[in-house]
């Protein structure tokens, strides 16, 4: 009896110990995998109930992969684990062993071999023409994923603010159209999970940084998309948002640290005044609200001053480059992040990929403020963003304003606006790393600005294809797309591409269905884009421009071998090209080739019709 009692007591103690040491819970391990030979040291963020009670080791031991430190967060449900990977470590699956007293759990973690030449990968440059896609509105290749059980918002194409069903399969199906147009790079708005209850189609409120939204496809399908782009000579630029995440993100209700996101007693929006970053007179309170205030109630503002979050975002960016073989990043709302951590973020990405390009959205009409954000710019405060490229919103504003002024011009109107912006090029550190555009997914359609005038649309295409910098065009601008209802703003300018959905009455992906003004604008754009591909003089040539106040604009792109002359007549009158006025560059340039028509052109006494452009190339 006594022996039996002792046995029962021992069993009870064992059961009590087992109850005190429950099965180890691992919900998330990020980054999802890593690679041998990376510049960035690996720090795993591990999430699971009471995971802070665990020790972690890597098996097999003596493999060249080892845990060097474990950092506890403020929440007991997170740990950050530093893992050293020796240069001679072998690629393969490793075991992360979690132990909690007598309980253990193994987790398989892959450390792969890098693809050959990964570090030296090329990126987008002035030789590229970037085509901007909003995936939900481009083409629906798989209607079966329009709605999924694990996402909140359901598709309804009748409502412009809801999802319409565009996806990765639709994008892949129409890559030939983009390549034929003459584009050489694609920037798509975010494809990561956005699980908001409404208006989630834009993707800028991320709910999982390591997951392609299932309504677009899968991580593997995204890799396939990148591969298919590369087969067609198209580079892939990923749109990323470190400034804010969705309040539906899995971490939101249990954040690793109190300062993981910016906290306020009451909801406080950003004041959107990023001039506070360089304004010697700005108050600290205004600067704090600018970078710490939220964009929207559903968009939690991330705090990159937290070193663990900064490392998380550095690794996240590098992971997507390495995993999917990306060619570049576009960073949303760049100046609203804390500027010093973002500088470190850029440095980390560029250290991993020295030839990589990152373009930041710095939405300002102020040329000095824009120049401040480009890496290596001379700034009085000594700040270096290490951001390679910036978006040229001053030029964007000038082109759009000029297209609304088709009269005979004057001081500060019409094409003088464009001349004035280009005259400030001395302010910028690196003109080759400026993205130029006349519209994007956040602005009024350029077709609306031009009021459906094909002549103006062709002038815009001419400017984008011949000016300095890296040009970007919003999907459908080559076909003069217009908003369905301008009073409704963003949802209605982000129109569906006709032919991208089964049953569409017109398929504009098929050139045989182009007609009228749409065909005229497309053909003009198509000719210029395909000509531009091989034009070193456009990619890297110098610019010489001439001032006129009759709503015309004349400029030359030139190098030692070639000269390209561009003449814009934005007025409502015929103009004679004043060729003798350009004598400082035109000596010996008498007979050229009209790039649009292919015809030979004699420049003396040449007239240009109202609201048209002329592009003529010469060999030296």
618 closest CA partner among 567, 557, 575: 557
Render pLDDT for 338-374 as a digit per residue (tens, 0 to 9): 999 999 999 999 999 999 999 999 999 999 999 999 9
Q: What is this structure's pTM?
A: 0.95
Structure tokens at 268: 């406080």
Q: What are phi and psi of 96, to 5 degrees?
A: -90, 115
Question: How remote is the C-alpha of 233 from its chain's centroid?
Answer: 19
The residue from 327, 332, 352, 477 that is catalytic is 332
* Secondary structure element (H or E) that encloses residue 318, with its range: helix 307-324
Lowest mean pLDDT, pick from 2-16, 275-289, 310-324, 537-551: 2-16
279: left (phi over 0), alpha (psi -120 to 50) or beta: beta
305 is catalytic: no
Structure tokens at 84: 């050293």
Segment 53-82 mean pLDDT: 97
Structure tokens at 556: 């030359």
Band of residue 102 on the pLDDT scale cut at 50, 70, 90: confident
Quick check: do 2-112 and 539-619 share a fold? yes
Please state which CATH number belongs to domain 539-619.
2.60.40.1180
**Axis-axis angle for helices 339-352, 307-324 (nearest 10):** 30
Structure tokens at 606: 């040449």
Render pLDDT for 147-205 as a digit per residue (tens, 0 to 9): 999 999 999 999 999 999 999 999 999 999 999 999 999 999 999 999 999 999 999 99
334 closest CA partner among 322, 323, 325, 342: 342
How does DSSP classify residue 328? E
d(CA 564, CA 411): 27
Q: What are phi and psi of 78, to 5 degrees?
A: -140, 145
Three-state secondary-structure class, residue 44? strand
What architecture does CATH give domain 2-112?
Answer: Sandwich (2.60)
d(CA 175, CA 171): 6
Band of residue 411 on the pLDDT scale cut at 50, 70, 90: confident
Segment 483-487 mean pLDDT: 91
Domain locations in the chain? 2-112, 539-619
pLDDT over threshold 90, residue 234: yes
166 closest CA partner among 134, 129, 139: 139
Q: Is 65 or 19 the better-scoring residue by pLDDT?
A: 65
The residue from 213, 361, 477, 478 that is catalytic is 361
146 is catalytic: no
């Amino acid at each position: 009896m006594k022996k039996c009692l002792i046995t029962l007591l021992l069993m009870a103690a064992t059961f009590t110990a087992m109850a005190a040491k429950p099965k180890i819970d691992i919900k998330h391990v990020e980054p999802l995998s890593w690679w041998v030979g990376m510049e960035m040291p690996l720090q795993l963020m591990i999430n699971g109930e009471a995971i802070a009670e665990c020790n972690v080791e890597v098996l097999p031991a003596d493999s060249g992969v080892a845990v060097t430190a474990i950092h506890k967060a403020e929440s007991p449900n997170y740990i950050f684990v530093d893992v050293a990977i020796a240069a001679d470590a072998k690629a393969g699956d490793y075991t992360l062993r979690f132990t909690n007293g007598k309980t253990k759990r193994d987790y398989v973690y892959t450390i792969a071999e890098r693809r050959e030449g990964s570090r030296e990968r090329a990126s987008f440059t002035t030789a590229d023409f970037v085509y901007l896609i909003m995936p939900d509105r481009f083409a629906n290749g798989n209607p079966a994923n329009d709605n999924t059980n694990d996402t909140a918002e359901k598709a309804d194409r009748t409502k412009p603010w809801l999802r319409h069903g565009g996806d990765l399969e639709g994008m892949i199906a129409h890559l030939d159209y983009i390549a034929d147009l003459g584009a050489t790079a694609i920037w798509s708005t975010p494809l990561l999970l956005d699980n908001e209850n409404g208006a989630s189609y834009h993707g800028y409120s991320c709910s999982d940084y390591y997951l392609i939204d299932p309504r677009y496809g899968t991580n593997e399908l995204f890799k396939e998309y990148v591969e298919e782009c590369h087969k067609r000579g198209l580079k892939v630029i990923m749109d990323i948002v470190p400034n804010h995440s969705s309040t539906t993100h899995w971490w939101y209700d249990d954040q690793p640290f109190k300062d993981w996101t910016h906290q306020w007693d009451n909801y406080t929006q950003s004041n959107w005044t990023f001039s506070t970053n360089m304004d010697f007179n700005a108050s600290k309170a205004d600067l704090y609200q600018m970078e710490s205030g939220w964009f929207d109630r559903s968009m939690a503002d991330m705090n990159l001053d937290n070193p663990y979050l900064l490392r998380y975002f550095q690794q996240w960016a590098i992971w997507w480059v390495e995993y999917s073989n990306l060619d570049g990043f576009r960073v949303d709302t760049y100046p609203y992040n804390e500027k010093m951590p973002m500088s470190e973020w850029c440095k980390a990405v560029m250290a991993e990929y020295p030839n990589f390009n990152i373009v930041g959205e710095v939405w300002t009409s102020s040329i000095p403020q824009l120049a401040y954000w480009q890496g290596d710019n001379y700034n009085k405060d000594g700040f270096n963003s290490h951001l390679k490229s910036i978006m040229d919103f001053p030029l964007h504003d000038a082109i759009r304003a000029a297209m609304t002024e088709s009269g005979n011009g004057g001081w500060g109107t019409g094409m003088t606006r464009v001349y004035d912006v280009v005259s400030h090029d001395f302010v910028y550190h690196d003109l080759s790393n400026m993205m130029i555009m006349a519209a994007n997914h956040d602005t009024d359609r350029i077709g609306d600005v031009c009021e459906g005038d094909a002549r103006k649309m062709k002038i815009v295409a001419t400017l984008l294809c011949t000016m300095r910098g890296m040009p970007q065009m919003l999907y459908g601008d080559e076909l003069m797309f217009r908003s369905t209802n301008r009073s409704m703003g963003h949802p209605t300018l982000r129109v569906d591409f006709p032919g991208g959905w089964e049953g569409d009455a017109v398929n504009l992906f098929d050139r045989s269905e182009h007609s009228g003004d749409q065909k005229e604008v497309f053909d003009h754009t198509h000719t210029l884009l395909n000509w531009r591909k091989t034009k070193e003089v456009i990619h890297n040539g110098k610019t010489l421009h001439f001032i006129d106040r009759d709503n015309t604009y004349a400029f030359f792109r030139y190098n030692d071998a070639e000269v390209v002359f561009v003449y814009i007549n934005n007025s409502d009158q015929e103009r004679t090209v004043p060729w003798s006025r350009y004598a400082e560059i035109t000596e010996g340039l008498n007979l050229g080739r009209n790039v649009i028509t292919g015809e030979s052109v004699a420049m003396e006494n040449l007239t240009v019709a109202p609201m048209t452009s002329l592009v003529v190339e010469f060999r030296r």
